[in-house]
Amino acid sequence: MTQPSTTPRAVVIYSGGMDSLTVLHNALEAGFEVHALSFHYGQRHARELDAARRVCEQLNIAHQVIDIRAIHSLIGNSALTDSEREMPRADYAEDNMQDTVVPNRNMILLSLAIGHAVNTGARVCYYGAHGGDHAIYPDCRPEFVERMNDVAAIANYEPVEVRTPWLHADKSDILADGVRMGIDYAASWTCYIGDELACGECGSCRERLKAFQALGMTDPLPYRQRTPSATDSQTD
């Protein structure tokens, strides 16, 4: 008779991007049996979701892509979900990046992930909020995580912890930990534009390139062009 696994379970919200790839490995390193959840909520492209599928297949991790595009008309007022809107191509700043905020996204995704955690017996739910997000994204700030933890503790018979390993760190800290864990970041996709090559101009690309620059490394992802702030300024 097969004995039930005693390995603790965790649900990881895994977009396929650089931050969530590192969070995924952090949960594995912590000894959890990981259940990865990716969400298709009507974002402009599915490159990240494709990257997530490939990584989970390679690591033999339980993975589901949840199609919640039916809510697009409710939260579509963002450059990330509306292809008719111009995507800001600049460094993250409050006056130009609010266009990339998807209303209430993390509360929605966390609610679904917490439900899945309860359903599968997981006591921890990870997502990739970090300190560099605080100025732009309200649902990545410490106050939000604290309140979500309060709610997750009472919303079901079994409490679930919302865990954000780099809530008070920046992207270069995430990258440093990922390098220590031996992560291949060529397996992730960060760009807001879903072209063949990463654009190198949107806020997400710029932030990623700066993290590699801070560690004196070259991002292995191919770019159409690299921003002047990046160490490697050549055009791929």
* Neighbouring residues of 15: CB distance < 8 A, sequence distance ≥ 6: 38, 39, 48, 49, 52, 128
d(CA 76, CA 85) in angstroms, rounded, equals 11
14 marked ligand binding residue: yes
**Is 23 one of the annotated binding-site residues?**
yes
Select from 84, 73, 70 the least CA-distant residue to 112.
70
Give the residue among 67, 161, 57, 73 at the shortest CA–CA distance from 117.
161
**111 annotated ligand binder:** no
The answer to whether 16 is annotated as binding is yes
Burial of 57 (C-beta count, 10 Å sphere; 0-12/13-18/19+): exposed
Alpha-carbon span 107 to 109, nearest angstrom: 6
Query: Is residue 125 annotated as involved in ligand binding?
Result: no
| 140 has binding-site annotation | no
Phi, psi (5° rounding) for residue 207?
A: -65, -40
- Annotated binding residue 59: no
Residue 147 to residue 111: CA distance in whole angstroms: 13
On whether 175 is known to bind a ligand per the annotation, the reply is: no
Q: Is the dihedral of CA 115, 104, 44, 229 positive or negative?
A: negative
Q: How far apart are CA 94 and CA 233, in angstroms?
A: 26
- Residue 18 is labelled as binding a ligand: yes
| Cα(46)–Cα(82) distance, integer angstroms | 14
- Residue 124 annotated in ligand binding: no
Q: Is 73 one of the annotated binding-site residues?
A: no
137 has binding-site annotation: no
DSSP designation for 124: E
- To the question of whether residue 112 is assigned a binding role by annotation, the answer is no
Positions at the binding site for ATP: 14-24
Q: Which residues are annotated as a binding site for Zn(2+)?
A: 191, 199, 202, 205
Binding site listing: 14-24, 191, 199, 202, 205
